[in-house]
Amino acid sequence: MIMRNSISGDPFHDDILKEVFNIGIGDAANALSILVKSPVRIQVPEIKIIDNKKLSSYVKKELTDVGVFITQPFGGTITGQALLAYSKECSKSLLSAIMDVNKEIASLTKVEISTLEEIGNLLIVSCLSTIGDMIKNPISFSMPMVSTSGAELFFSDLAQRIEDYEQCIVAKNKMEVKNMQIEGYIFIFLSFKDINSIINNLDATTNR
């Protein structure tokens, strides 16, 4: 196995990861289409691997204001934290498209939280399961947790929970439900070792 000190900026790996995420997210979109009884299209147009040290500057650029965050720890051969993040406006659009409710996300009800848990679980599990299939090792998942908070505050709290992981795969995703465009972010926090393992497996799969 090749051990790298840093894995980022390789367009080949980005393309492969994008493909992997698009496969996973395609499954989630199909499942979601059945649930909402309307076509759902989700795409991952942008993917990158960033150092967690640079996470706060990325978040400041991409996610401002209050948002909805769905976290889900996972374990198995690779261990980490997955996070699905939506900005305030996109969270409102998501709830509006899925549940036909138009409201401020600061006051989510139990039903709305559980709906977001189901959607978050679908997206996160689909993406990570595809990675699990690729590295031929199953991944086990814990319960997802929904929270609403200011992005800066959320990520500063998250920092303690992800201190064992040095890097993060960030997949920007665009969902289209009932003529609404919803942009979200999937963050997968992993250690150097695990991210190396994924990349090496991707290289092996593609005979690189």
Partner 1 sequence: MNDLQSIVKSMLFQVLSEGMNTGVILLDRDGRIQYWNRWIEQHTGVIQEKAIGQELLRLFPEITDRGQAHYLTTVREKNVPVFLSPYFHQYLIRIANSDSSHTPHMYQKVKIFPVDLTEKSCSTLIFIEDITDAIVHEREMTLLNKKLTAELDEKKILLREVHHRVKNNLQIICSLIRKQMNAADSPLVTKHLEESLNRVMSISFMHEELYRSKSLASVDFKQFVYRTSQHLFAFHNIPPQQVQFIFEGDVPQLAIDQALPCSLITNELLTNSIKYAFPDGRKGQIRLMFEEKGDTLDYHFFDNGPGIPRDILDREEAETLGLHLIELLAKNQLEANCGFTTDNGTSFRMRFKKQVADK
Cβ pair 126, 109 in contact under 8 A:
no
Residues 85-124 that bind partner 1 (CB under 8 A): 99, 109-112, 114-115, 117-118, 121
Query: Which residue number, 51 or 118, has a Cβ lying nearer to partner 1?
Result: 118
For partner 1 (CB under 8 A), the number of binding residues is 20
- Out of 1, 4, 138, 208, the only residue in the binding site for partner 1 (CB under 8 A) is 138
Query: Which residue number, 14 or 117, has a Cβ lying nearer to partner 1?
Result: 117
Q: Count Cα atoms within 13 angstroms, Cβ side, for 60.
A: 6
For residue 23, give both structure tokens: 């496969």
Rounded to 5 degrees, what are φ and ψ at 26? -65, -40
The minimum distance between CB 132 and partner 1, in angstroms, equals 9
Could you give the 3-state DSSP secondary structure of residue 103? coil
Residue 137 in contact with partner 1, rule: CB under 8 A: no
Question: For residue 201, which of 139, 136, 140, 138 has the smallest C-alpha distance?
Answer: 136
The minimum distance between CB 154 and partner 1, in angstroms, equals 21
Question: For residue 86, which of 183, 207, 190, 5 has the smallest C-alpha distance?
Answer: 183
Query: Which residue number, 45 or 138, has a Cβ lying nearer to partner 1?
Result: 138
- Out of 129, 148, 173, 196, the only residue in the binding site for partner 1 (CB under 8 A) is 129
Question: For residue 150, which of 183, 92, 116, 105 has the smallest C-alpha distance?
Answer: 105
Max distance between CA atoms of the chain, in angstroms, equals: 50
Residue ranges binding partner 1 (CB under 8 A): 35-36, 99, 109-112, 114-115, 117-118, 121, 125, 129, 138, 140-144
